[in-house]
Homo-oligomer: A and B are copies of this chain.
Amino acid sequence: MNRAVVLLSGGLDSTTVLAMAVAEKLEITALSFSYGQKHTLELKKAQKIAEHYKVKEHIVIDLDTEPFRGSALTDNIAVPENRTDLSTEIPATYVPARNTIFLAIALGIAESRGADSIFIGVNSLDYSGYPDCRPEFIDAFQNLASLATKTAVEGRPPSIKAPLLYMTKAAIIKKGIQLGVDYGMTLSCYQPDENGKSCGVCDACILRLEGFRANDLEDPAVYREKTHG
């Protein structure tokens, strides 16, 4: 049984990726990070999702927040709302070097667990222009991973798998529904309220809502106002 490390934020994308890895009958180490994000509800969601899929282990890494300063997800900076063109600039929700750090730690965990693949739910179509979600970033990390570790030198470099890289949000949701994903378990919003209700106006909510609409489906997430979804 092959072993895989799956990055799991508790959002729609990473949960779909987890379902895809489960469908491949891999033995899974789910990996989440507490990195000073303002809302930690996503970690609770990740925990429940990991339990739902009966993963082999779920690791939550507590990261020092020093590298992550200056983001709307970690600091007292407003989350952009109601953006209409998500491709024009890198928004304030960008977190410095986040995916580089997450993948680097996943690489160490993969090696210590004997895992031969690392799954990450990055997407380069319906996303917010983050530099570390682009295909060239994944290629560069694969190149690094192919020579950075003892396992790699021994001829068994881990494979960095980003199965959503070229999928639209609508296609991701369609795939997840086929795999039986209950998207009610997931949380995408950058600024949910204390009851876990999504805002409906941040980039993550906008992309998610459009994805469900394109599938003629209702988003099972709970939004603050009934006009959304």
Contact = CB atoms under 8 A, between A and B. Distances in A.
Interface in A139-156: 140-141, 143-145, 147-150, 152-153
A163 interface: no
A104 B101 CA distance: 5
Complex copy number for this chain: 2
A25 interface: no
B111 A96 contact: yes
A69 interface: yes
B137 A105 contact: no
Interface residues of A, number: 42
Given A62-B64, A143-B140, A100 B148 contact: yes
Contacts of A64: 61-63, 105
A134 interface: yes
Contacts of A112: 66-70, 96
Question: Would you list the 5 A-B pairs with minimal beta carbon distance, nearest first?
Answer: A67-B108, A97-B108, A104-B104, A96-B111, A69-B112
Interface of A: 59, 61-64, 66-70, 90, 94, 96-101, 103-105, 107-109, 111-112, 131-132, 134, 136-137, 140-141, 143-145, 147-150, 152-153
